Amino acid sequence: MIVEARNDTVNLLGALTKNHWQTIKAAANLLLKRNPAGIIINCSGITECTEEGAETFADAQAYIQKHGARIVLCDIPEHVMEVLRRVPGVRSQLPVACTMAQARASLGLPSAYEASEAPAEKIVLLPVWEGMNAPYAAQHALHMTKDQRAVLHIVYILLVPQKLALTTPMPEQEERAHQTLTELEEMARRARVKVEKRVERCRDLARGIVTVAEQERASQLVLGITPGDMAAANGLLTTVLQKAPCEVLVVRAPAAVGQTV
């Protein structure tokens, strides 16, 4: 199941064989912050639905009723509706519209998402941090950015230990951060790619990356994974793939490549 958050709509794509409400809720809450008038969950891309997957809608119904959330589902395929009819009480109380147009009308939304509210330029986000192979990930980010005529935003995630205040000076780490950003900026300039760079201080790597993606309103995120601690990498992947508000491209450096930032 792919959960795609775009403008004021959450699109569900693929097989719904398990309860995916927690992932969908994270995307929905993010869009509701940007679109308080309401959002739509578009179900037209669901290719398969099991009774376990239908529990997604039961949890959605409970959440909407409890919080009074302005969420409407639309375009639920007939084969999905057949499964929902077997789940007691779900279909009768879900806020469902037959089409996207009807969903927008029920929420009082414009017939199409206002282009002026979207970013003027596509943004490809490259988060980097100490210990990863930043140049390798940057090569892929540069190709993607150039192909789409987008802007590359490079953000160095500087992890601050819990025992320190978030604004505590960390001269050595800050120096390495700025050196890395300078090197990657030069790569971008050689590739003739428009680039912006900055440092983001945070406590947790995965949450920091998701927060930056939200702040930058990224269209795509290039997530570089370096072979090594795969348990940590899997935890990072799980959080970012579930919560990032944009498309995510995972780039794993070959095991033989050992260069790190």
How far is residue 80's CA from residue 153's CA, in Å, rounded to a whole number?
40
Residues 10, 106: one domain?
A: yes
161-184 tens-digit pLDDT: 989 888 888 999 999 999 999 999
Domain boundary among 116, 139, 169: 116
| Percent residues over pLDDT 90 in the chain | 39
* Averaged pLDDT of the chain: 86
Q: What is the pLDDT of residue 112?
A: 60
**pLDDT of 258 over the 70 cut:** no
Convert the pLDDT of each residue in 200-223 to its tens digit.
999 999 999 999 999 888 999 999
Within a 10 A sphere around the Cβ of 75, how many other Cβ atoms? 21
Enclosing domain of residue 47: 2-116
We report the CATH number of the domain holding residue 48 as 3.30.750.24
- State the pTM of this model: 0.54
Sheet holding 247-252, edge to edge: 195-202, 151-159, 123-128, 220-225, 247-252
pLDDT in tens, 105-126: 888 887 665 444 444 578 999 9
pLDDT digits (tens, 9 = 90+) for 149-159: 899 999 999 99
Q: Distance (Å, rounded) from C-alpha 150 to C-alpha 195? A: 9
Asked if residue 180 is part of any domain, the answer here is yes
How far is it, in rounded angstroms, from Cα 197 to Cα 141?
Answer: 14
